[in-house]
Structure 1
Amino acid sequence: MAFPTRDPDFEALRFELSKLRADRGWTYDELAERSGVTRRTLIAIETGTTHGRLESWFRIAQAFGVDLGDLLKPL
Structure 2
Amino acid sequence: MASHDSGESASRCTGCVQDDDGPVPPANFAALSLHLRRIRVERDWSYDELAARSGVGRATLVSIESGRPRRNPKKPASRGNLETWYRIARAFDIPLGELLKPLYDENP
Percent of matched pairs sharing the same residue: 52
1:43 aligned partner: 62
Indicate the structure with greater strand content.
2
1:64 aligned partner: 92
1:31 aligned partner: 50
Which amino acid in 2 is paired with 1:34?
A: R
Structure 1, unmatched stretches of 5+, are none
Higher relative contact order (CA 8 A, sep 6+): 1
The runs of at least 4 aligned residues of structure 1 exceeding 4 Å deviation read: none
Farther off after superposition, 4-13 or 17-26: 4-13
Give the total of aligned pairs. 75
CA offsets 1:26-66 (integer angstroms, 9 cap, x no match): 00000000000000100010012121111000000000000
Indicate the structure with greater helix content.
1
Greater C-alpha Rg: 2
1:15 aligned partner: 34
Distance 1:73 1:40 in 2: 23
Distance 1:61 1:39 in 2: 15
| Helix, strand or coil at the partner of 1:20 | helix
Superposed CA RMSD: 1.1
Please, what TM-score do these two structures have when normalized by structure 1?
0.94
